[in-house]
Amino acid sequence: MSQTIETEKPLTLEVFTAGLWQENPVFVMMLGLCPTLAVTNTLENSLGMSAATLFVLVGSNALVSALRLVIPKQIRITAYIIIIATFVTIVDYLIQAFSLDLHNKLGAFIQLIVVNCLILGRAEAYASRNGFTKAVVSALGMGLGFTLALVALGSVRELLGAGQLLGYQIFSLNFEPWVVMILPPGGFIVLGSWLLLFNYFRQRKTENLLAVDSASHCTVKNN
């Protein structure tokens, strides 16, 4: 018996942009923090993990959505994990083929994509309830939002921790690296700083919307 499919809403731009800002996996939903903190000591690692996660997220969401009518409800989680594990295996071999050095740097965190809450959560909560196109578009938005977060952390940590980006020297040779930034505590420090900045802008946006709404109500009453 296949699971009940909810009435699907039309595809809008918000389906794609939600993962970039309103529902950013790291800065809002706080998902996937294990790889976010562990591999973002350099920009190269951040881009590698982002690309792997994006590939798995889009591929698994697409397949789950395509098979949502035939996967029995009782075994849906098991089926989703098998689908995700298949794409993780593919991306694992692809990274080994293109860059064995990057594969060694990412280590076990590539395989741990299988249990990433972001991947399984999107398959269960979104892809299994929406059509193919909408599921792929949403996965792209979420994947790029995850990429944005990892790049934000990786670039700051490498820049301050080594004075470089992607191996190129950015600061002068007289720059004294903040070694703590490429160590585990640096991940928490940079993530906390980005969360502070991200929440500040969200709060400012909310306050501006409330001010506009309040002004419009006052105008209506005066009229």
Q: In whole angstroms, give the CA distance from residue 9 to residue 49.
A: 32
What's the pLDDT score for residue 3?
A: 47
pTM: 0.85
What's the pLDDT score for residue 194?
A: 93
Residue whose tokens read 């990429």: 147
What's the pLDDT score for residue 217?
A: 62
What's the pLDDT score for residue 223?
A: 58
What's the pLDDT score for residue 91?
A: 95
Q: In whole angstroms, give the CA distance from residue 95 to residue 114.
A: 16
Residues 141-163: b if buried by 16+ CB within 10 A, e if exposed: bbbbbbbbbbebbbbbbbbbbbb
Q: In whole angstroms, give the CA distance from residue 118 to residue 223.
A: 49
Could you state, in chain order, the average pLDDT of each consecutive group of 10 residues for the chain (223 residues)? 53 85 88 89 94 95 94 92 95 93 91 90 91 93 94 94 89 87 92 90 82 67 58
Domain locations in the chain as residue ranges: 14-214
Ramachandran angles phi, psi of 183, nearest 5°: -95, 165
Q: In whole angstroms, give the CA distance from residue 62 to residue 66.
A: 6
Q: Which letter does DSSP use for residue 130 in this model?
A: S
What's the pLDDT score for residue 146?
A: 95
Q: Which residues contact 118 (CB under 8 A, 6 or more apart)?
A: 25, 29, 31, 32, 53, 57, 142, 146
Tell me which residue of 157, 154, 113, 130 sits closest to 67, measured CA to CA: 130
What's the pLDDT score for residue 61?
A: 95
Q: What letter represents residue 212's amino acid? A: V
Strand partners, 169: 164
* CA angle in degrees (0–180, nearest 5) for 32-33-34: 95
Work out the end-to-end distance of the chain between its first and last CA atoms, rounded to an integer number of angstroms: 59
